[in-house]
Amino acid sequence: MASLDSLRVRKQLQTGTVRQFGTDGPVAIRLRNLTGGAVTSVTVTTATNIVMITANGGTDTYAFATYTTYGAVVDAINKDGIFEAKILDALRSKASASTLVTGAITAGTDDNGIVVWDALQDTSASLQIAVALTPFRNFDAPKGHRVHLQEVKYGVNMGTAAVDSVQIWKRTGTVETQLFGALSVDTTETTINFASGEGMISGNDNDELIVLVKDAATLADASSNYVRVTGIIE
């Protein structure tokens, strides 16, 4: 159990955060190379696989027919030890085939300056836009933090508004639990908060909260699409 002093320090150091994604923006899987050798390419073929070619590891192929969910893909990559992988703006249970943006991934950096490759979710194919409120977007982020979700705002061009199509999930390690479900609203900007803005949904230490807006059949590639979460990381 954390000491009273450590809880006070964490409270004092808490920061507000806002994160927003639109069409093809959510980072489904974030990767970094562990070998230190050159990375030739990281490529997604959306219906088939993700392939990493490196100087030290050769060619590593992860077929979506074998690893049928994001969680299975990430676990297989981590087991091989050439890359480290983590799921961010998605659920582990999401089907891997035909839901990621296809093509070669351009390397970027996380907030700690670590070189990363982000496999983005193809939102019109996955039929959802998800955003994670997490203390672990960066690799090597320290443990012992928690998040509080204060507000969700979205405008999504979907096919049909439906019950339980706006969802909030908690991820604890590899276990995902739905906390909230609401009727979606097509296209119109919609705000969800708690207790008139005075309340929040909180995770326990090291939990992540994932907000997603989804549709059963159609989600347009609209430039106006967005899902925005506002919260606190402490």
Return the HEC string of the chain: CCCHHHHHHHHHCCEEEEEEECCCCCEEEEEEECCCCCEEEEEEECCCEEEEEECCCEEEEEECCCCCEHHHHHHHHHHHCCEEEEECCCCCCCECCCCECCEECCCEECCCCCEEEEEEECHHHHCEEEEEECCCCCCCCCCCCCEEEEEEEEECCECCCCCCCEEEEEEECCEEEEEEEECCCCCCCEEEECCCCCCCEECCCCCEEEEEEECCCCECCCCCCEEEEEEEEC
pLDDT of residue 6: 59
Q: Are strands 103-104 and 128-133 parallel, antiparallel or unpaired?
A: unpaired
Please give the pLDDT value at position 196.
86
| Domain map (residue ranges) of the chain | 1-22+126-234, 27-120
* Residue 12 confidence (pLDDT): 57
The ranges of the chain with pLDDT < 70 are 1-13
Residue 44: the pLDDT is: 98
**Rounded Cα distance, 197 and 226, in Å:** 20
Sign of torsion, CA 95 96 102 104?
A: positive
Tokens of 168: 């909030």
Quote the pLDDT of residue 120.
Answer: 98
pLDDT of residue 150: 97
Mean pLDDT rounded to a whole number for the chain: 94
pLDDT of residue 10: 61
**Which pair of structure tokens corresponds to residue 112?**
């700690």
Q: Rounded to two decimals, what is the model's pTM?
A: 0.93
Q: Measure the CA–CA gap between 212 and 87, rounded to whole angstroms.
A: 14
pLDDT of residue 14: 80
What CATH number matches the domain at 1-22+126-234, 2.60.120, 1.20.120, 1.10.3470, 1.25.40? 2.60.120
> What pLDDT does residue 7 have?
57
